Protein backbone atom coordinates (compact mmCIF):
# COMPACT_ATOMS: atom_id res chain seq x y z
CA UNK A 1 0.00 0.00 0.00
CA UNK A 2 1.42 3.35 -0.97
CA UNK A 3 1.73 6.10 1.58
CA UNK A 4 0.80 9.63 0.55
CA UNK A 5 2.70 12.41 2.29
CA UNK A 6 0.65 14.86 4.32
CA UNK A 7 0.84 18.29 2.77
CA UNK A 8 0.43 21.59 4.53
CA UNK A 9 0.40 25.10 3.20
CA UNK A 10 2.56 27.62 4.98
CA UNK A 11 2.74 31.39 4.57
CA UNK A 12 6.36 32.40 3.95
CA UNK A 13 8.11 34.98 6.11
CA UNK A 14 11.13 36.83 4.76
CA UNK A 15 13.95 37.12 7.30
CA UNK A 16 16.72 39.66 6.86
CA UNK A 17 20.26 38.31 6.49
CA UNK A 18 22.35 38.29 9.67
CA UNK A 19 25.00 40.33 7.88
CA UNK A 20 22.71 43.38 8.02
CA UNK A 21 23.50 43.65 11.73
CA UNK A 22 27.23 43.97 11.07
CA UNK A 23 27.42 46.08 7.92
CA UNK A 24 25.34 48.68 6.16
CA UNK A 25 22.54 47.11 4.10
CA UNK A 26 23.08 48.18 0.48
CA UNK A 27 19.93 49.81 -0.84
CA UNK A 28 19.53 50.86 -4.46
CA UNK A 29 16.78 53.39 -5.22
CA UNK A 30 15.79 53.65 -8.86
CA UNK A 31 13.88 56.88 -9.43
CA UNK A 32 14.02 60.11 -7.42
CA UNK A 33 10.70 61.72 -8.31
CA UNK A 34 7.33 61.58 -6.54
CA UNK A 35 7.84 58.24 -4.80
CA UNK A 36 11.63 58.10 -5.01
CA UNK A 37 12.24 61.40 -3.24
CA UNK A 38 9.95 60.26 -0.41
CA UNK A 39 11.86 56.95 -0.27
CA UNK A 40 15.20 58.72 0.14
CA UNK A 41 13.75 60.93 2.87
CA UNK A 42 12.51 57.85 4.73
CA UNK A 43 15.86 56.11 4.33
CA UNK A 44 17.57 59.15 5.87
CA UNK A 45 15.31 58.79 8.91
CA UNK A 46 16.00 55.06 9.07
CA UNK A 47 19.76 55.63 8.84
CA UNK A 48 19.71 58.08 11.74
CA UNK A 49 17.44 55.80 13.78
CA UNK A 50 19.68 52.77 13.24
CA UNK A 51 22.80 54.69 14.23
CA UNK A 52 21.00 55.98 17.32
CA UNK A 53 20.05 52.40 18.21
CA UNK A 54 23.68 51.28 17.99
CA UNK A 55 23.99 49.91 14.46
CA UNK A 56 27.67 50.27 13.47
CA UNK A 57 27.08 51.54 9.93
CA UNK A 58 23.48 52.54 9.25
CA UNK A 59 22.50 52.37 5.58
CA UNK A 60 24.46 52.43 2.32
CA UNK A 61 22.22 54.09 -0.28
CA UNK A 62 22.64 54.70 -4.01
CA UNK A 63 20.08 56.73 -5.98
CA UNK A 64 19.75 56.47 -9.77
CA UNK A 65 17.85 59.09 -11.78
CA UNK A 66 18.87 61.21 -14.76
CA UNK A 67 15.93 63.65 -14.47
CA UNK A 68 16.39 67.32 -13.62
CA UNK A 69 14.22 69.18 -11.12
CA UNK A 70 11.59 71.23 -12.96
CA UNK A 71 8.99 73.67 -11.65
CA UNK A 72 6.15 71.08 -11.85
CA UNK A 73 8.14 68.81 -9.51
CA UNK A 74 7.84 71.29 -6.64
CA UNK A 75 5.31 70.67 -3.85
CA UNK A 76 4.38 67.06 -4.77
CA UNK A 77 7.99 65.89 -4.68
CA UNK A 78 10.70 66.50 -2.09
CA UNK A 79 12.14 69.46 -3.98
CA UNK A 80 12.02 73.22 -3.52
CA UNK A 81 12.85 76.26 -5.69
CA UNK A 82 16.52 76.10 -4.66
CA UNK A 83 16.74 72.66 -6.32
CA UNK A 84 15.56 73.79 -9.77
CA UNK A 85 17.90 72.81 -12.59
CA UNK A 86 19.78 70.20 -10.53
CA UNK A 87 19.72 66.46 -11.10
CA UNK A 88 17.12 65.00 -8.75
CA UNK A 89 19.43 62.21 -7.61
CA UNK A 90 22.31 64.57 -6.86
CA UNK A 91 20.11 67.12 -5.12
CA UNK A 92 18.65 64.52 -2.75
CA UNK A 93 21.89 62.70 -2.01
CA UNK A 94 23.84 65.90 -1.40
CA UNK A 95 21.11 67.09 0.97
CA UNK A 96 21.28 64.05 3.21
CA UNK A 97 25.04 63.63 2.99
CA UNK A 98 25.38 67.17 4.32
CA UNK A 99 22.74 66.64 7.01
CA UNK A 100 23.87 63.22 8.23
CA UNK A 101 27.52 62.96 7.26
CA UNK A 102 26.77 59.97 5.05
CA UNK A 103 28.61 59.02 1.87
CA UNK A 104 25.59 58.01 -0.18
CA UNK A 105 25.99 57.98 -3.95
CA UNK A 106 23.97 59.64 -6.71
CA UNK A 107 24.11 58.31 -10.26
CA UNK A 108 22.51 60.85 -12.66
CA UNK A 109 22.04 58.32 -15.44
CA UNK A 110 19.10 56.59 -17.05
CA UNK A 111 18.47 53.06 -15.82
CA UNK A 112 19.78 50.63 -16.92
CA UNK A 113 23.21 51.95 -17.80
CA UNK A 114 26.86 50.98 -17.65
CA UNK A 115 27.25 53.17 -14.57
CA UNK A 116 24.62 51.17 -12.63
CA UNK A 117 26.11 47.71 -13.14
CA UNK A 118 28.24 47.51 -10.00
CA UNK A 119 25.56 48.79 -7.63
CA UNK A 120 23.09 46.22 -8.96
CA UNK A 121 25.63 43.44 -8.39
CA UNK A 122 26.02 44.54 -4.77
CA UNK A 123 22.40 45.43 -3.89
CA UNK A 124 20.63 43.85 -0.94
CA UNK A 125 17.38 45.64 -1.72
CA UNK A 126 16.26 47.40 -4.89
CA UNK A 127 13.50 49.97 -4.47
CA UNK A 128 11.93 50.89 -7.79
CA UNK A 129 10.08 54.20 -7.78
CA UNK A 130 9.76 54.67 -11.53
CA UNK A 131 6.25 54.02 -12.77
CA UNK A 132 7.46 52.78 -16.15
CA UNK A 133 6.89 49.17 -17.28
CA UNK A 134 10.19 49.24 -19.18
CA UNK A 135 12.13 50.01 -15.99
CA UNK A 136 10.46 47.14 -14.14
CA UNK A 137 11.19 44.79 -17.03
CA UNK A 138 14.84 45.92 -17.02
CA UNK A 139 15.17 45.11 -13.32
CA UNK A 140 13.48 41.72 -13.62
CA UNK A 141 15.60 40.68 -16.61
CA UNK A 142 18.94 41.98 -15.35
CA UNK A 143 21.62 39.24 -15.38
CA UNK A 144 23.45 41.12 -12.61
CA UNK A 145 20.95 40.58 -9.80
CA UNK A 146 22.42 38.94 -6.69
CA UNK A 147 20.64 35.73 -5.78
CA UNK A 148 19.47 37.08 -2.41
CA UNK A 149 18.48 40.55 -3.59
CA UNK A 150 14.95 41.66 -2.67
CA UNK A 151 12.81 44.10 -4.62
CA UNK A 152 10.33 46.66 -3.33
CA UNK A 153 8.26 48.25 -6.09
CA UNK A 154 6.10 51.35 -5.63
CA UNK A 155 3.43 52.50 -8.06
CA UNK A 156 0.47 54.85 -7.98
CA UNK A 157 -2.26 56.59 -9.94
CA UNK A 158 -4.09 59.81 -9.03
CA UNK A 159 -5.46 58.77 -5.62
CA UNK A 160 -4.44 55.16 -5.11
CA UNK A 161 -1.35 53.03 -5.33
CA UNK A 162 0.28 49.73 -4.49
CA UNK A 163 3.45 48.30 -3.02
CA UNK A 164 4.85 44.88 -3.92
CA UNK A 165 7.75 43.32 -2.01
CA UNK A 166 9.37 40.18 -3.38
CA UNK A 167 12.55 38.57 -4.62
CA UNK A 168 14.43 40.19 -7.48
CA UNK A 169 16.27 37.05 -8.56
CA UNK A 170 14.32 34.39 -10.41
CA UNK A 171 15.55 31.65 -8.05
CA UNK A 172 13.52 33.04 -5.12
CA UNK A 173 10.41 34.28 -6.92
CA UNK A 174 8.50 31.04 -6.38
CA UNK A 175 8.58 31.79 -2.64
CA UNK A 176 8.59 35.60 -2.72
CA UNK A 177 6.84 36.72 -5.94
CA UNK A 178 7.68 40.22 -7.13
CA UNK A 179 5.75 42.92 -8.96
CA UNK A 180 6.15 41.14 -12.31
CA UNK A 181 4.30 38.14 -10.87
CA UNK A 182 1.65 40.28 -9.19
CA UNK A 183 1.00 42.29 -12.36
CA UNK A 184 1.98 40.10 -15.34
CA UNK A 185 0.58 42.69 -17.75
CA UNK A 186 3.70 44.77 -17.08
CA UNK A 187 5.44 42.50 -19.57
CA UNK A 188 3.58 44.09 -22.48
CA UNK A 189 2.54 47.56 -21.26
CA UNK A 190 3.98 50.64 -22.97
CA UNK A 191 5.53 53.53 -21.05
CA UNK A 192 3.55 56.70 -20.41
CA UNK A 193 6.16 59.46 -20.37
CA UNK A 194 3.86 62.50 -20.51
CA UNK A 195 5.05 65.21 -18.11
CA UNK A 196 3.06 67.90 -16.32
CA UNK A 197 3.70 71.49 -17.38
CA UNK A 198 2.98 73.21 -14.06
CA UNK A 199 2.59 72.57 -10.33
CA UNK A 200 -1.18 72.99 -10.67
CA UNK A 201 -1.36 70.42 -13.46
CA UNK A 202 0.85 67.99 -11.52
CA UNK A 203 -1.48 68.20 -8.50
CA UNK A 204 -4.56 67.78 -10.70
CA UNK A 205 -3.08 64.61 -12.22
CA UNK A 206 -1.98 63.14 -8.87
CA UNK A 207 -3.12 64.01 -5.36
CA UNK A 208 -0.64 66.02 -3.32
CA UNK A 209 -0.25 63.26 -0.73
CA UNK A 210 -0.55 60.10 -2.82
CA UNK A 211 3.21 59.63 -3.14
CA UNK A 212 3.76 60.10 0.57
CA UNK A 213 0.95 57.68 1.44
CA UNK A 214 2.15 54.95 -0.92
CA UNK A 215 5.78 55.39 0.07
CA UNK A 216 4.96 55.31 3.79
CA UNK A 217 3.20 51.97 3.24
CA UNK A 218 6.16 50.57 1.32
CA UNK A 219 8.84 51.87 3.63
CA UNK A 220 7.02 50.35 6.60
CA UNK A 221 8.12 47.02 5.14
CA UNK A 222 11.74 48.18 4.97
CA UNK A 223 11.57 49.40 8.56
CA UNK A 224 10.21 46.01 9.67
CA UNK A 225 13.17 44.34 7.99
CA UNK A 226 15.63 46.67 9.68
CA UNK A 227 14.03 46.78 13.13
CA UNK A 228 12.47 43.35 13.66
CA UNK A 229 14.45 41.28 11.16
CA UNK A 230 11.50 39.89 9.24
CA UNK A 231 8.26 40.64 7.41
CA UNK A 232 5.34 38.65 6.05
CA UNK A 233 4.05 41.59 3.98
CA UNK A 234 4.04 40.99 0.24
CA UNK A 235 1.50 43.43 -1.14
CA UNK A 236 -0.04 46.65 0.20
CA UNK A 237 -2.75 48.69 -1.49
CA UNK A 238 -3.53 52.30 -0.58
CA UNK A 239 -6.69 54.21 -1.56
CA UNK A 240 -6.90 57.85 -0.53
CA UNK A 241 -10.45 58.20 -1.85
CA UNK A 242 -11.84 55.59 0.56
CA UNK A 243 -9.18 55.95 3.22
CA UNK A 244 -8.50 52.21 3.07
CA UNK A 245 -5.12 50.48 3.25
CA UNK A 246 -4.85 46.72 2.94
CA UNK A 247 -1.86 44.42 3.44
CA UNK A 248 -1.54 40.89 2.05
CA UNK A 249 0.96 38.15 2.98
CA UNK A 250 3.14 36.16 0.64
CA UNK A 251 1.17 33.42 -1.07
CA UNK A 252 1.17 30.07 0.68
CA UNK A 253 3.68 27.44 -0.40
CA UNK A 254 3.05 23.73 -0.06
CA UNK A 255 5.31 21.61 2.10
CA UNK A 256 5.33 17.85 2.54
CA UNK A 257 5.22 16.50 6.07
Residue 211 placed within a domain: yes
Count structural domains, the chain.
1
pLDDT band at 131 (very low <50, low <70, confident <90, very high): confident
pLDDT band at 221 (very low <50, low <70, confident <90, very high): very high
Residue 250 sits in a domain of what CATH number? 3.40.50.720
Residue 34, domain extent: 7-256
pLDDT tens digits, one per residue of 104-118:
999 999 998 999 999
What is the DSSP code string of the chain?
Answer: ---PPPEEEE---EE--GGGGTS--EEEEE--SHHHHHHHHHHHHHHHHHHHTT-SS--EEEEE---B--GGGTTTSS--GGGTTSBHHHHHHHHHHHHH----EEE-SPSS-GGGHHHHHH-SEEEE----HHHHHHHHH-TT--TT-EEEEEEE-SSEEEEEEEESSGGGTTTS--HHHH-GGGGTPPP-----SSHHHHHHHS-TTHHHHHHHHHHHHHHHHHHTSEE-EEEEEEETTTTEEEEEEPPPEEEE-
pLDDT band at 1 (very low <50, low <70, confident <90, very high): very low
Kindly report the pTM of this predicted structure. Answer: 0.90
pLDDT band at 75 (very low <50, low <70, confident <90, very high): confident
Residue 202 placed within a domain: yes
Residue 1 placed within a domain: no
> Which pLDDT value is given to residue 7?
52
What integer is the mean pLDDT of 143-164?
95
pLDDT tens digits, one per residue of 162-210:
999 999 999 999 999 999 999 999 998 988 776 654 444 554 567 878 9
Average model confidence (pLDDT) across the chain: 91
Residue 2 placed within a domain: no
Least confident of 96-100, 197-201, 204-208, 236-240: 197-201
Residue 95 placed within a domain: yes
Amino acid sequence: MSVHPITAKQLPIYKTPASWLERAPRILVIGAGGNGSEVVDALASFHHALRSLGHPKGLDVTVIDDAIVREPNLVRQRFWPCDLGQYKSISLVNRYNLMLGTTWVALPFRFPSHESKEVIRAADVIISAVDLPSARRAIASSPLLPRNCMWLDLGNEARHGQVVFGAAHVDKRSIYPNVMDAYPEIGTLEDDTKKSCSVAEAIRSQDCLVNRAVTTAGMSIVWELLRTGETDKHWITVDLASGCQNAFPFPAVQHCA
